[in-house]
Structure formats: structure tokens, C-alpha cells
Amino acid sequence: MTDSLVDVALLAFGGPTDLGRIPDFLRSMTGREPAAETLKFVEGRYETIGGGSPLPEMTARQARALQARLVQELAFPLRVRHGFLYAEPSVADCLAELDGHEVLALPLSPFGSRLTYDKYREALDAAGAGHVPILQGWFAGIGFVKAISKRIAEALDGCDADEWAVLFTAHNVPLENVLEGDPYVEQLQQTIAQLVALTTPGDWRFAFQSKGRSGGEWLEPEAEDAVRMLAADGWRKLLVVPVGFVSDNIETQYDLDIELRGFAEGLGMEYRRSLAPNDSPYFIEALADVVIEHLAHRPPAHGHGGPHSHGG
């Protein structure tokens, strides 16, 4: 029998750690063989940011830091392992390492969307972990908001916030998802409302980035359109806050720091970007609070935790 009372599966989308893993990553994510043109396009982007995604290593660091934090806070044996939807270690690999009395899944996707929550649920079910609860709904928690606000303060580095226009960005999703009741945008807006109140920028916008290449209707405005509007309003200092991402990845390091930066500087704007929360102590504390909150409010276990726990 395991010594661990509670085990946590920290889950994320994943990413290719080097150029050679890109075909497998795309295959896993799309369910089909990538076209040569797509492969060349994606490889070119990863090559520009150093050849691979920083996300897998960051997720491993987040898992180690979260385990240390939880053991310190709870003072009982506990393990945190990480797994990915579209890379190694898989969700099933992650769960194979966890055999605590109670297992919880904590996806690194604070904002609820069918594109995220349903994928994690499917992966857990496919791994025989249908009873494992998914901890969600922490998008507006004060700890998460504080972690982002600290990153904003670091990026401003002592500058007056009211001299800067802030652009909050999140990954785009198909318009039909939101029309069908997906809570993604509403949840993002709740988090942003708290951040604006905390940071009081000179002006701000919320826009979407990194939309898919599959056509169809997507959410608006897109990031470049929002930057164009801010420039037209006379703003010359732009701080981009990728509120939709908890770890830096190709979409922050390429789509924002290369493409959007080039666009903003072309309009005569100074560009800065706040880091994603990554493994900052504030973010790790926020994740620990999500786990502790769940454990404090779950129904009493009947002999053992797993099947009798419910998602929060």
C-alpha cells in the first residue's frame, strides 16, 4: 500500500521539446498526419524561439514546486506528478505513478472551455480514472489574480501604470463554442476585471491571439486590431499581459514577442510583455490553495478517497 494520502496529477497540453518531436506533437493534437506545409510552418516558429517549447520543462518545475508547497502546508505524504494531453509523459503515464488513497487532477487551464476541460476528462476516462475529480473554477481566485498582478508589476519595473496601455490576451476559440454556452470568455472577463482594478493602467483592451488555421469564425478583436486601436488613440507604451496562459510557450514567445512586438513597434509603440505565472511562488501558492480548498470541502471519504470525491 502506498504511503501517500493524496496524489495530484498536474495536467497540461504539452509541447515539443525539440524539432524532432514536432510531427508527433501535431499528430497527437490533431489526430492526423501533418501536411508538409504545416510542418514547415510550425518548425520555423519553434526554430525561432530556440528549437522547442519551454512548456514541458516548466510544467515539471511547477509540479516539483507544488509538491514541496503542499507537503509543507499539509504535513502529510503527498505526491504531484505531471502529464500532458499531446506529449510525453501522457496523462496515463502520469496516473500510473500515482496510487495515493485519493487522486486529484489539476489542469493548468484555469478558464473553462470544452476545448480544455472535456479533453482532460476524456484523457482521464481513457486512462481508467473516471473517478478522479478535476479541480476547476480557480480562474477568479485571489491567488491566481495576485500571481498575474505581480508579473505585471515586474514588467512595469517601477514605471507609472497609467502611462501604459495594457492589452490582455488569451488564446482564440471558434465563435460557435461561445455561442453554444462555453464559459471561456466570461471567465476571462472576470479575471481581467480584477486585474484592472488592481493595476489601474492608463487604458486597456482584451483581445484574442493565436487563432487556428482551419478557417471558420473566431472571436474578435484579434490582438493586432486591438494594438492598432490603442495606437490610434495615441498610446505609445504597450504592455501585453497573456492572461490566458499560465506557462510561457510558443504562443507567448513567438506570437507575442516576435509577431505582435514587430507589429506594435512598427506603429511606433514601446512593447513590453509580462511573463506568464510559470513557477513563481505566488502562482504555486495559488495552485496549492486550489488543492487545499478542495480537500477541505470534499465529502467525507468512505474508507478511501478516490471514487467518493467529487470535482470542485
- Do 248 and 55 contact (CB within 8 A), yes or no? yes
The sheet carrying 270-273 orders its strands as 203-209, 165-171, 237-241, 270-273
What's the fold here for domain 6-17+53-138+280-308? Rossmann fold (3.40.50)
pTM over 0.85: yes
**Residue 307 confidence class, pLDDT cut points 50, 70, 90:** very low
Return mean pLDDT, the chain. Answer: 93
Distance CA 78, CA 86 (A): 26
Cα 27 to chain centroid, rounded: 21
- Is residue 209 helix, strand or coil? strand
Residue type at 108? Answer: L
The pLDDT tens digits for 143-189 are 999 999 999 999 999 999 999 999 999 999 999 989 999 999 999 99
**Closest Cα to residue 8, out of 111, 119, 89, 94?**
94
Question: If you average pLDDT over residues 181-203, what whole number do you get?
Answer: 96
DSSP per residue, 54-95 = SHHHHHHHHHHHHHHHHHHHH-S-EEEEEEESSSSSBHHHHH
Residue type at 209? Answer: Q
**Residue 304 confidence class, pLDDT cut points 50, 70, 90:** very low
Rg (CA), the chain: 20
Q: Taking CA 42 as the corner, what is the angle to CA 38 and CA 44, rounded to the nearest 5 degrees? A: 120
- Residue 17 DSSP label: S
The pLDDT tens digits for 106-125 are 999 999 887 788 999 999 99
List C-alpha distances in Å: 136 to 107, 173, 234, 255: 8, 19, 39, 27
**pLDDT value of residue 25:** 98
The pLDDT tens digits for 233-271 are 999 999 999 999 999 999 999 999 999 999 999 999 999
**pLDDT value of residue 310:** 33
Per the listing, cell 513597434 goes with 265
Dihedral sign for Cα atoms in the order 172, 175, 138, 98: negative
The domains of the chain are located at: 6-17+53-138+280-308, 142-273
Question: If you average pLDDT over residues 267-285, what whole number do you get?
Answer: 98
Question: If you average pLDDT over residues 124-140, what whole number do you get?
Answer: 96
Question: If you average pLDDT over residues 190-219, what whole number do you get?
Answer: 94
What's the fold here for domain 142-273? Rossmann fold (3.40.50)
